[in-house]
């Protein structure tokens, strides 16, 4: 999602562009190879960046939230998206496979501890990873918090957000027969995994467009057309994860296991008017995590490319850089 929203308005706040000093494909098993890159200072403070989606992939702009003299920045495309292969594949693609991949990358790079930086689904994955491997996380910086609960999915795919954007919601819903409107995630799942590439691409673009349309505070309600290959991976992976409740053991698991990360310092950057991941999740997370700072950004929505969000994330990372 963030990859195609454009970063022009946020560029003023970011560090200068930087090229990777290391790019490689890593065989993570199960027939998957994952794209990974490193930029910044090879001897610097390591930070792993977890992109959104699932299925969003990483972009060059994501390197620019970190002072390249201070940080060793590790980006990777999660299974099935971006430059990782096989593309748009959901086979052996679950939250727990991704947690294992993060650990594999960490050991591959001989890193003992790192900062975990993630937004939207990347925040979800970062929290789950930290709860599974708290000894490996020196800090968490999260944006646009999503806790993968049924209530959050009901908000976005059950008509809650649609009450604010009825015309945009209608475009998303009207592609589905009325007798399937009670479960739009399931209805789209049937079509995204139909085996017909044209059908899958049509519904993938509609799925992606609904989310893109609501990402920015200044949205006009039109999501635009994502490139078909990107949209198909994004929609299929996201729908697969949401159909399966992010592969968590039970609803509300992340908040229930906050004691595992209570000692880890954290920062949450949340848009006050985030239509995709409403602020209540960030507030609940901060209320149960004694070692976190919540930065609520006024006049901001969900996207990483929002100027207020970008400015606050850079400020947080610059403060960490200063020690």
pLDDT at residue 133, as a whole number: 98
| Model confidence band, residue 45 (pLDDT cutoffs 50, 70, 90) | very high
CA angle 147, 4, 12 (to 5 degrees): 95
> Residue 90 is encoded by which pair of tokens?
């959901």
The tens digit of pLDDT for each residue in 248-262 reads 999 999 999 999 999
pLDDT at residue 221, as a whole number: 86
Distance, in Å, from the CA atom of 312 to the CA atom of 200, rounded to the nearest integer, reads: 37
pLDDT above 70 covers a percentage of the chain that reads 98
| Model confidence band, residue 4 (pLDDT cutoffs 50, 70, 90) | very low
Nearest by Cα to 184 from 127, 228, 243, 139? 243
pLDDT above 90 covers a percentage of the chain that reads 94
Distance, in Å, from the CA atom of 58 to the CA atom of 37, rounded to the nearest integer, reads: 10
Distance, in Å, from the CA atom of 237 to the CA atom of 239, rounded to the nearest integer, reads: 5
Residue 118 has pLDDT above 60, yes or no: yes
The tens digit of pLDDT for each residue in 196-241 reads 999 999 999 999 999 999 999 999 988 777 899 999 999 999 999 9
Lowest mean pLDDT among 9-13, 109-113, 222-226: 222-226
Distance, in Å, from the CA atom of 2 to the CA atom of 281, rounded to the nearest integer, reads: 20
The tens digit of pLDDT for each residue in 259-291 reads 999 999 999 999 999 999 999 999 999 999 999
Residue 65 has pLDDT above 60, yes or no: yes
120, 208, 209, 310: which is the annotated catalytic residue?
A: 120
Contact 206, 228 (CB under 8 A): no
15, 32, 97, 302: which is the annotated catalytic residue?
A: 302
pLDDT at residue 6, as a whole number: 44
15, 32, 274, 305: which is the annotated catalytic residue?
A: 274
CA angle 164, 166, 169 (to 5 degrees): 105
User: What is the residue-wise DSSP string for 161-205?
Assistant: GGGT-HHHHHHHHTTS-GGGTT-HHHHHHHHHTSS-HHHHHHHHH
Residue 46 has pLDDT above 70, yes or no: yes
What average pLDDT does the segment 16-38 reach? Answer: 98
Q: Which residue has the higher pLDDT, 226 or 195?
A: 195
Please confirm, yes or no, whether 274 is among the known catalytic residues. Answer: yes
Distance, in Å, from the CA atom of 249 to the CA atom of 256, rounded to the nearest integer, reads: 11
Mean pLDDT of the chain: 96
> Residue 236 is encoded by which pair of tokens?
């299929």
Please confirm, yes or no, whether 183 is among the known catalytic residues. Answer: no
């Amino acid at each position: 999602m963030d990859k195609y929203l454009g970063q022009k308005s946020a560029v003023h706040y970011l560090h200068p562009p930087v090229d990777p000093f290391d790019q490689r494909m890593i065989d993570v098993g199960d027939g998957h190879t994952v794209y990974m890159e490193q930029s910044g200072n090879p001897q610097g403070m390591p930070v792993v960046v977890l992109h959104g989606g699932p299925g969003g992939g990483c972009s060059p702009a994501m390197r620019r939230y970190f002072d390249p003299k201070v940080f060793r920045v590790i980006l990777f495309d999660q299974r099935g998206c971006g430059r990782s292969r096989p593309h748009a594949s959901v086979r052996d693609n679950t939250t727990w496979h991704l947690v294992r991949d993060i650990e594999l990358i960490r050991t591959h790079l001989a890193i003992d501890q790192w900062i975990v930086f993630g937004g939207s689904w990347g925040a979800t994955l970062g929290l789950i990873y930290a709860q599974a491997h708290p000894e490996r996380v020196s800090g968490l910086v999260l944006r646009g918090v999503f806790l993968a609960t049924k209530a959050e999915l009901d908000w976005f795919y059950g008509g809650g957000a649609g009450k604010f954007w009825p015309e945009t919601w209608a475009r998303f819903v009207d592609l589905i027969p009325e007798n399937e409107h009670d479960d739009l995630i399931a209805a789209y799942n049937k079509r995204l995994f139909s085996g017909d590439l044209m059908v899958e691409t049509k519904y993938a673009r509609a799925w992606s467009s609904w989310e893109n349309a609501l990402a920015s505070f200044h949205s006009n309600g039109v999501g635009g057309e994502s490139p078909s290959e990107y949209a198909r991976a994004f929609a299929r992976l996201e729908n697969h994860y949401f159909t399966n409740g992010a592969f968590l053991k039970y609803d509300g698991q992340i908040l229930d296991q906050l004691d595992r990360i209570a000692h880890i310092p954290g920062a949450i950057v949340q848009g006050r008017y985030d239509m995709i991941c409403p602020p209540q999740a960030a507030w609940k997370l901060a209320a149960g995590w004694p070692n976190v700072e919540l930065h609520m950004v006024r006049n901001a929505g969900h996207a990483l490319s929002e100027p207020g969000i970008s400015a606050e994330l850079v400020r947080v990372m610059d403060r960490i850089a200063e020690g």
